Chains A and B, each alone.
Chain A
Amino acid sequence: MRVDSKAAFERLQATARERAGAHKAEVLVCCGTGCLAKGSKGVAEAFAGEVESRGLGVSVGLNVKSTGCHGFCERGPLVALRPSGILYTQVKPTQVAEILEQTVVGGKVIPRLLYKNPVDGTRVEQYAEVPFYKHQTRVAMRNIGRIDPTDLLDAVAEGAYAGLAKALFEMTPEQVIEEVATAGLRGRGGAGFNTARKWRSARRAEGDRKFVLCNGDEGDPGAFKDRSIMEGDPHSVIEGMIIGAYAVGAHEGYVYVRDEYPLAVVNLTIALSQARAHGLLGQNILGTGFDYDIRISRGGGAFVCGESSALMRSLEGKTGEPRAKYVHSTDKGLFDSPTVLNNVETWADVGAIILHGGSWFAAMGTPKSKGTKAFSLVGKVKNTGLIELPMGTTLRHIIFDIGGGILNDRPFKAVQTGGPSGGCVPEGLLDLPVDFEKLTEAGSMMGSGGMIVMDDRTCMVDVARYFLNFLVEESCGKCVPCREGLKQMLAIFDDLVAGRGREGDIARIERLASAMQLGSLCELGKSAPNPVLSTLRYFRDEYEAHIVRKACPAGICRELTAYEIVPEDCDGCHACFKACPVNAITGTVKELHMIHQDVCISCGACFDVCPTQAIRTLPKAELAGREVS
C-alpha cells in the first residue's frame, strides 16, 4: 500500500493498530545480537512451533514476535510476555513448552525463570520492576524490544513515521529546525554539537545537491547503542533522516554502517525497502512532492571512519582519512556538497521530538544537555547492558542502582566513558551528573556512550596502555603527531608496565600529549591522549609507583606483580591448584597450598578463583630479598 496523502497515512496507522490489537497476548523474544549469540533464535523458533502445534494463535490469540535488543543482553535470551508484563531471563528452547502451559495458558508465574536481583537475591516478576529497566527513560530506544524490526506495520502501530507525517503535512522546513532547536538536541555521536545549528547551516548553504547522512560506524570498545538501535528499530533512524532531509532540503542520503554489524545491515535494508514500498521514502514521499532516498554503505571497520570527514571520504570511495575541517561539512561535505551527518541515536531522537514537541524533550536533562542519552554499561557491574536515561543522571545512580553495583561487591575504582577519546572518572566524582559539559570538565567525554566500570583489580596505567594499543592500530597515520606520537607514547607505557619506567617519564608523557592535542589533524588525534591524561590526573600515584617502586598497586601488571598464599586464610580447597595454567601451585586437599615463584607467570587465575581471598598480590621487587620457596 503506497501512502500518498495525510488521510492515507492515517488509514495505514489505523490498519497497523487494528492488526496489533487483534492479538490478545504476545510473546516477545529478544533477537538482538547478544541474545542471538546466546541462542534466542532457537527459543523464538520453539515458541513459533509450539504455538502453531497447540493452536494457541487461535485459542488464546497469541502472537510470537522476534524483537530487537532489550538491552539486558547479559541475562539473555530474554522473553517478555504481554499483557502480563512478565519477564523471563536466560530462557532455553526446552523451557518454551513449560512457559506456554504454565504462564500463557495457566496464568502462573515460573519463579526460577524470573530475574534474580543480584543485590538482594529476590526474584522480580515484572519487566518494568526490574531495577535495570525501572530507572530508564527511553526516547531513542522507545520501540526497541516492543516491535518486530522487520515489520513496518508493527512500527507504525507504535507511532513510527507519525513525526514524519507531522513534519511534512503541518510544518515548514524552518519550523522543523526551530522545533529541534527548542528541543536543544545535541549530537549523540560524542562531540555534542548543536543539531539545529548544523541543519540551519546546511539549509543556508548554496548548492543544488545536498546530503543527509547517518553515522553508524560506532567503533569505541564497549559501545553498542547504535548497533542496537539500527537492529531493533531501524525505522526510527530512517524517519529521523527523512525529517532532517526535509529540513535542510536534501534529496540523497547514506547510512554508513560498519560491516561488523551484519544484523543492522539486514534490518536496515528490509526497513528501507518497506518504507519505499509504502511511499514513506523515495520519490514523492507521502504524496507531498518531497523526494529523498537512502542507501546503505558498509564500512570496512576502520575506527577512523567514524570521524565525519573520513567517513565522507570513505563514502566517496577513497581512503577513509580525515581532512582539515576549516571549511565545514555543512558547506562542503560529501562530494564537496553541503552535508549533514548525524549519529544513529541523534536521528532516532528526531521523530519523537517532532511528534511530541521540542519542549517535551527539553524538559528532560540538564540546562545545556537536554533529553535522554543511551549508554552501553559494561565492565565490572552486576547488570550490564544497554540503557537510556535523562541527561544529568549521576554516575552513582547508573552504576549502583541500574548496574546493581560492582561485581562480587569489590570496591569501585573508576568508570571509563567516551572510549579511546574519553577518560576515566574516579570514585570521588561518582555524584557527577552525566552530561556533555560535566564529562568534559572531568577530563573525559560523552563519546559514543560507552561506560566501562572498573573495580580495584584494575591498573590505571594498564588501562591507558590498552587504549593506546587500540589507537596505535586504529590511527589512520596521516598526520605525524597521532601516528608517530602514539607509537612513542605506547613505547613509554610498555616500559612502565614492565618495570622499566624512568624518572622523567611523566614529563615525557605530558609533553607528547600536549603536542598531540594541539597538533593533530583530527579530533581523534587531538583526543587520543585523553585516556592517558585522565588517568594521570586522578591516579598519578599509580604512575609514580610503577616508575619509582617498580610496583603495580592494583596487582595487575604481570612483570611487577607476584602472588602468594596467606597461610592462615587458606582452607586447602584446591581451587587454585586446578586454575593454575602452569602448575605453579602445589598442595593437597585440606592442606596449605603454595605458589612457586620460579614457575608462576602472574596471570592471577588463582586470585580470581580463591573463595576465601587467601591469595594476595605483592610487588615482585619485594620477593627479591626472600629465600626462594
Chain B
Amino acid sequence: MPNLTIDGVTVEVEEGAYILQAAQKAGVHIPTLCQFDGLEPWGGCRLCVVDLWRPGWDPDWFKMVTACNHPAEDGVKVFTSTPRVLETRRVVLDLLLARCPETALIRRLAAEHGLPATTFVRNPEPTDCILCALCTRVCDHIGVSAISSVNRGVGREIAPPFHQPPPDCIGCLACAEVCPTDCIPFTSSDRQRTIWGQDFEMLRCSQCGRAHITVAQADHWAARTGVPRSYYETCDVCKRLHHAEVFARLTAGG
C-alpha cells in the first residue's frame, strides 16, 4: 500500500487511491470544484493543483499535478500550498470569477483566496455554469447520456442534443442535484416534473401514494438492472418501513 506525505503528514492509502484521498486522510484540505465521490475524476477545474516530488528528483524540482486524478504513489511528497500552487489556484478562481461574477460559490472561494473581484474582463452575460461537467458525467454514469457538452473552446456549453428537449432524459434530477452552483433549473410536483424543457409523468408509490420518481425512471432502472419494475413502484421510505416491520416481527418472534 502506497505510503506518501502530504504537507509533511505521512499517510498510507489503498492501492489505486488518488492524492486527493490521501490528503483527506492526512487532514489536509484541497479545494475542488469538478470532483464528486462516486464519479471518475475528471481534472477540468484545475483548482486542486498541488506540487509533487518523486524520490530521485532534484530536491528543488516539483511537478504540478491535479490531486483529484493523480495516483497516490509510494514515497512521493505532496505540497498543497506552495506559492506557485496558491497563485495558480488564484488565477483559476480569478478566471472563473470573471466568467461567473454573480455565483455565490465562486465568489466565496475567490474571497477565501484573497480575490474580492476579478482582475480580468467581467463576463457581460454572467452565468452560473462553471462547465465542471458533473451533470453530464453523472448522466453518463447512470447510463442515460441525455445531455453533453457541445461546441469547444469559448463556445462550450452544456446542452441536450440540438438544444431540444432530450429524448433520452428520464427526469431523475441527478444532474441538478450534483451541480455545485445549482444552475440547472427544474420544477417538480405530484403530477409532473420538468427539466431540460421536457415534461415527465410522476409515478406514485404503490403503498403511500407519494409521487416519488418519474415513470421514465422506473422504466430505465428496470431495463438497466433487470430487477422487476414493481420494485421501483414502491418508494424508498415505504421499502424501508416494510423491512423494518419484517425485522420487528422476526425479533419479536425470536
Q: Footprint of B on A, CB under 8 Å?
A: 302, 304, 319, 323-324, 326-327, 471-481, 483-488, 491, 508, 511-512, 514-515, 518-521
Contact = CB atoms under 8 A, between A and B. Distances in A.
Contact of B49 (A304, A327, A488, A518): A518
Nearest to A515: B91
Contacts of A518: 49, 64, 84, 88
Given A472-B154, A481-B92, A518-B84, 12 more contacts: A319-B148, A471-B153, A475-B152, A480-B46, A481-B91, A484-B96, A488-B120, A515-B87, A518-B49, A519-B46, A521-B44, A521-B66
Contact-size category for B: 35 or more
Given A326-B65, A472-B154, A483-B131, A519 B88 contact: yes
Contacts of A486: 153-154
B2 interface: no
B152 A481 contact: no
A483 B49 contact: no
25 contacts: A324-B43, A472-B154, A474-B153, A475-B153, A479-B44, A480-B46, A480-B47, A480-B96, A480-B130, A480-B131, A481-B46, A481-B91, A481-B95, A483-B131, A484-B95, A484-B98, A484-B99, A486-B153, A488-B120, A511-B91, A515-B88, A515-B91, A515-B92, A518-B49, A519-B91
B177 to A, nearest CB: 23
Contact of B152 (A476, A519, A521): A476
Contact of B46 (A302, A476, A511, A520): A520
B181 to A, nearest CB: 14
Interface in B118-143: 119-121, 130-131, 133
Contacts, number: 99
Contacts of A326: 65, 69-71
Contact of B121 (A319, A491, A520): A491
B143 to A, nearest CB: 15
Nearest to A516: B91
Contacts of B131: 477, 480, 483
A483 B66 CA distance: 17
From A326, A327, A472, name the one whose CB has the most chain B CB atoms within 10 angstroms.
Answer: A326
Contacts of B153: 471-477, 483, 486
Interface of B: 43-47, 49, 64-66, 69-71, 84, 87-88, 91-92, 95-96, 98-99, 119-121, 130-131, 133, 148-149, 151-156
A325 to B, nearest CB: 10
A508 B119 CA distance: 9
A5 to B, nearest CB: 48
Nearest to B118: A488
Given A477-B149, A480-B45, A488 B69 contact: no
Contacts of B152: 302, 304, 474-477
Contacts of B70: 324, 326
Nearest to A473: B153
A219 to B, nearest CB: 13
Contacts of A484: 95-96, 98-99
Contacts of A508: 119
Nearest to B157: A477
Nearest to A482: B153
A474 B46 CA distance: 19
B85 to A, nearest CB: 9
Contacts of B69: 324, 326
B95 A488 contact: yes
Contacts of A302: 152
Contacts of A479: 43-46
B83 to A, nearest CB: 11
B156 A327 contact: no
Given A484-B96, A484-B99, A324 B66 contact: yes
B147 to A, nearest CB: 13
A58 to B, nearest CB: 58
Contacts of B151: 477
Given A479-B45, A483-B154, A518-B88, A488 B66 contact: no
A521 B43 contact: yes
Nearest to A512: B91
A477 B88 contact: no
A478 B84 CA distance: 22
A514 B149 CA distance: 27
A12 B43 CA distance: 53
Contacts of A521: 43-44, 46, 66
Contacts of B154: 472, 475, 477, 483, 486-487
A324 B71 CA distance: 11
Contact of B92 (A323, A477, A478, A480): A480
User: Lowest 3 CB-CB distances: which A-B pairs, in order?
Assistant: A477-B156, A515-B91, A484-B95
Contacts of A476: 152-153, 156
Contact of A485 (B43, B45, B95, B119): B95
Contacts of B43: 323-324, 479, 521
A485 B120 CA distance: 9
A319 B140 CA distance: 13
A488 to B, nearest CB: 4
Which of A472, A484, A511 is most buried by chain B, counting CB atoms within 10 A of its CB? A484
A383 to B, nearest CB: 35
A471 B99 CA distance: 18
Contacts of B49: 518-519
Contacts of A520: 46
Contact of B64 (A304, A473, A477, A519): A519
